[in-house]
Amino acid sequence: MQKALDAVRDGMPYKTASREFKVPVMTLKRRAKGKNKIAVGSTKKLGSKQTVFNLDQERELVDYIKDMESRMYGLTTQDVLTLAYQLAERNNLPHPFSEAKGKAGLEWLRGFRRRHPDITMRAPESTSSARARAFNKPVVDKFFSTLKNVQEKHYFPPHRIFNVDETSLCTVPTKNSKVFAQTGRKQVARVTSAERGDTTTAVICTSASGTFVPPMLIFRRVRMKMELMDGAPPGAICACNPSGWMKLDVFSQWFDHFLSHAKPAADDPALLILDGHLSHTKNLNVVLKARDNHVTILCLPPHCTHKLQPLDVGVMYPLSVYHNQALEKWMNNNPGRVVTVFQITKFFTEAYLKAAVPLNSMNGFNKTGIYPFNPDIFTNVDFIAAETTEMDVDNDTIEPPISILGTSSPPLENVQIPSPQASNPETETLQPLQVDVQESLHLTPHLSPLQTPTPMMTQQSPQVPQSSQQASSFPKNTSTPESLERLPPALAVGLPSTSFGVVTPREVRPTPKIVGKRASARRIRMDTSVLTSTPYKTYLEEEAKKKTDIEQKKALKEANKIKKTTNKQNDKGKGGGKGKGGGKGKGKKKQTRSDSSEEESDTECLFCTESYSKDNRGEGWIRCAVCLKWGHEACAGVDSDDEGDFTCDICLSGNQFDSVKKILRL
């Protein structure tokens, strides 16, 4: 149509242009003479059915939907329908939406999705808030800086770079596969072994070249049965504990297994990358073994394993899928039976042989940027989710002292971050962060809790107010509403000019942002560090010594408390009895213990040789008037009502008196 209109304007007859460009002749005449009030020029309209938003407005709405999804706050179907109604109402646009429901209709949404096929409905994966805020640019940059320093000190080829991680194996599928069912059926079920199931831990280790170390299985049992390992992968080992999770001693056992297969040497060292689990980072035994066997251990940043751990990226997901499929297939082939911990090894082996392939391992190391080394593997879009909880360093969790990290990278807590009020350019020594606004459309420059300031912060000066400085750096568009100017500087950077006349989507549904201080406990967390470094080894030794001292003091205090309670109970029981020596017995024993030495106070029974301090039954004691030794009233055969001096049976025999005295002295 456009070519036909251009040809008509150049003098070509209508019929000739209609025949050559294959357009209706009457339509061409109306368009050329401007008699079509709905369609102007070559623009195609749907007659009286017009869209509520023009093309530019719909594109801006699409960009907003994509932005919210990248921040992990994606919009649902009802959110989009409600947002469309509010935009039409607040911008005074004519619309056929329902005012009673306060949202657009499903027909509008279908047309909107057909016009913009670059957006679709997806089931999001649950991601914790800690992961969302922890995966930010300074944390990732610090990890790659530490990795670079380690590689420069000891070059590790791909077959000497290892990653170890744990995953749980359950007797019940974590996610059921889809099945065919009758249309309209409200509930579709699948039989499983139990409601929750029993959990077993699998320890998997792989290298950047695609080589796998035989796995380790940790069963939730007190005693190990070798029947549990029937059908295990070749070379696999096992362990057990009451919880079924990784423990300090179990990880030490696995590390010995790793050394036997990796065989690191002085001229061929190995690099082991792992997460910050307590059994990994607080294991002094493993650190000492690694230093002696030429293994460098690098700890990943906290809550970043979903992006930086190769096994999580490339192997663990297909392993869980194949494991669930194996469980479902066994349940279908064995009706009436349930899966127990004795069959879990066979299912794991079936899934492990399918998922633990070299291609998955190499792809995991490649996508994380560990090998080949690529510190720029993540872009600003990957860090945008952390903007929701960005704040100053003082409000974040406490980092461990840099002296224990064993890395030459500068400490993040010493990085100077000017506050929004600080504006003296002479005191600012940091270089502004280079952010390409055109590369990430209306994505705000990332500022995590530990990141360097954005260009907006570093460009402020004391002579120019913040609003004036912002206006000079970023020209104001006349179509931008005034309320957008009241947004924080971090949100105003990089926003394109809006196509909406009054209210933009960001004003109707603002970008999520934390208000005030984040509610989190101030605790010491494990950051990126080389666990085999000398400073960190010294730190672990000091921590172990402190822990031992605390345990010893606690045990001594508990022992003294038990002894004091026992003595009090025994004294109370002995004080009420009477011996034959004119009301002596327990009362006299109590008095003698208080006045005698420590050795005499903890005497033994003359008959059963049971120590007085270990007597928890509260029995009565009585003393012999001849040998002055103590004994239980029950052992002596004396009742508490007997009167007179008590003489033991040994002393009654004159012939044995001397020998007994010698024995007692010994």
Show the 3-state SS of 369-396. Answer: CCCCCCCCCCCHHHHHHHHHHCCCHHHC
Is the domain of 331 the same as that of 447? no
State the virtual CA torsion across 399, 405, 409, 413 in degrees, nearest 10: 20
The amino acid at residue 338 is: V
Q: Give the CA radius of gyration of the chain.
A: 39
499 confidence band (pLDDT: 50, 70, 90): confident
Rounded CA gap, 409 and 228, in Å?
46
267 confidence band (pLDDT: 50, 70, 90): very high
Q: Is the peptide bond before 535 cis (omega within 30 degrees of 0)?
A: no
Q: Specify if 27 maps to a domain.
A: yes
Predicted confidence (pLDDT) per residue in 452-483, tens digit:
333 333 333 333 333 333 333 333 333 334 33
Rounded CA gap, 25 and 18, in Å?
5
Is the domain of 491 the same as that of 600? no
The amino acid at residue 1 is: M
- Classify residue 460 as left (phi > 0), alpha (psi -120 to 50) or beta: beta
Is the domain of 107 the same as that of 238? no
448 confidence band (pLDDT: 50, 70, 90): very low
CATH number at residue 301: 3.30.420.10
The answer on pLDDT for 12 being more than 80 is yes
Is the domain of 364 the same as that of 468? no
Rounded CA gap, 348 and 318, in Å?
12
Is the domain of 225 the same as that of 339? yes
The answer on pLDDT for 397 being more than 50 is no
Q: What is the mean pLDDT of the chain?
A: 76
State the virtual CA torsion across 57, 61, 63, 66 in degrees, nearest 10: -170
The set of long-range contacts for 465-473, using a CB threshold of 8 Å and a minimum separation of 24, is: 466/420
Predicted confidence (pLDDT) per residue in 43-78, tens digit:
776 666 778 998 899 999 999 999 999 888 899 999
What is the percent of the chain with per-residue pLDDT over 70, rounded to a whole number?
71
Rounded CA gap, 575 and 583, in Å?
11
pLDDT at residue 516 in the model: 61
Is the domain of 213 the same as that of 345? yes
Rounded CA gap, 537 and 587, in Å?
58
State the virtual CA torsion across 606, 609, 613, 614 in degrees, nearest 10: -140
Rounded CA gap, 443 and 441, in Å?
5
Rounded CA gap, 30 and 41, in Å?
9
Better-scored residue on pLDDT, 532 or 490? 532
Rounded CA gap, 275 and 310, in Å?
11
4-18, 121-135, 564-578, 579-593, range with the lowest pLDDT? 579-593
Rounded CA gap, 603 and 613, in Å?
8
Predicted confidence (pLDDT) per residue in 348-367, tens digit:
999 999 999 999 999 999 99
Q: Which residue has the tokens 């942002």?
A: 513
Q: Specify if 246 maps to a domain.
A: yes
494 confidence band (pLDDT: 50, 70, 90): very low
- Classify residue 409 as left (phi > 0), alpha (psi -120 to 50) or beta: beta
- Classify residue 279 as left (phi > 0), alpha (psi -120 to 50) or beta: alpha
Tokens (6 digits) for 121: 């409905």
Q: Specify if 45 maps to a domain.
A: yes
Rounded CA gap, 666 and 644, in Å?
30
Better-scored residue on pLDDT, 349 or 563? 349
How many domains are contained in the chain?
A: 4
Mean pLDDT of 88-111: 92
C-beta atoms surrounding 603 within 10 Å: 19
Nearest Cα neighbor of 378 from 129, 150, 140 is 140
Rounded CA gap, 108 and 177, in Å?
32
The answer on pLDDT for 213 being more than 70 is yes
As a residue count, the chain comes to: 666
Q: Specify if 290 maps to a domain.
A: yes
pLDDT at residue 610 in the model: 74
Better-scored residue on pLDDT, 593 or 301? 301
The residue from 345, 378, 411 where one domain ends is 378
- Determine contact, residues 65/75, Cβ cutoff 8 Å: yes
449 confidence band (pLDDT: 50, 70, 90): very low
The answer on pLDDT for 132 being more than 90 is no
Is the domain of 497 the same as that of 415? yes
The answer on pLDDT for 572 being more than 80 is no
pLDDT at residue 609 in the model: 72
Tokens (6 digits) for 621: 């004691």
Is the domain of 401 the same as that of 275? no
pLDDT at residue 435 in the model: 36
Q: Which residue has the tokens 């402020």?
A: 460
Coil, strand or helix: which one is 555? helix
Better-scored residue on pLDDT, 303 or 521? 303
- Please name the helix (run of DSSP H) or strand (run of DSSP E) that holds residue 136, with its range, or none: none
Rounded CA gap, 75 and 96, in Å?
22
Q: What DSSP designation does 663 have?
A: H
Q: Tell me the residue range of the domain where 366 lies.
A: 156-177+191-378
Predicted confidence (pLDDT) per residue in 319-346, tens digit:
999 999 999 999 989 898 999 999 999 9
pLDDT at residue 404 in the model: 40
Which residues, including other chains, have CB under 8 Å from residue 80's CB and lie 6 or more apart?
Answer: 65, 104, 109, 112
Rounded CA gap, 335 and 337, in Å?
6
pTM: 0.62
Rounded CA gap, 403 and 384, in Å?
31
Q: Specify if 184 maps to a domain.
A: no
Coil, strand or helix: which one is 266? coil
Is the domain of 374 the same as that of 443? no
The answer on pLDDT for 194 being more than 70 is yes
pLDDT at residue 355 in the model: 95
Coil, strand or helix: which one is 21? helix
Predicted confidence (pLDDT) per residue in 171-183, tens digit:
998 888 888 998 9
DSSP 419-478: -TT---TTT--SPPPP--TTTSTTPPPP--TTPPPPHHHHT--SSS-HHHHHHHHSPPPT
Q: Specify if 452 maps to a domain.
A: yes
Is the domain of 397 the same as that of 507? yes
Is the domain of 91 the same as that of 206? no
Q: Specify if 455 maps to a domain.
A: yes
The answer on pLDDT for 489 being more than 70 is no
CATH number at residue 589: 3.30.40.10
Q: Specify if 543 maps to a domain.
A: no
388 confidence band (pLDDT: 50, 70, 90): confident
pLDDT at residue 497 in the model: 64
Is the domain of 520 the same as that of 594? no
Phi, psi angle pair for 623, to nearest 5°: -115, 140
Tally the C-alpha atoms within 13 A of residue 629's C-alpha that lie toward its C-beta.
23
The answer on pLDDT for 503 being more than 50 is yes
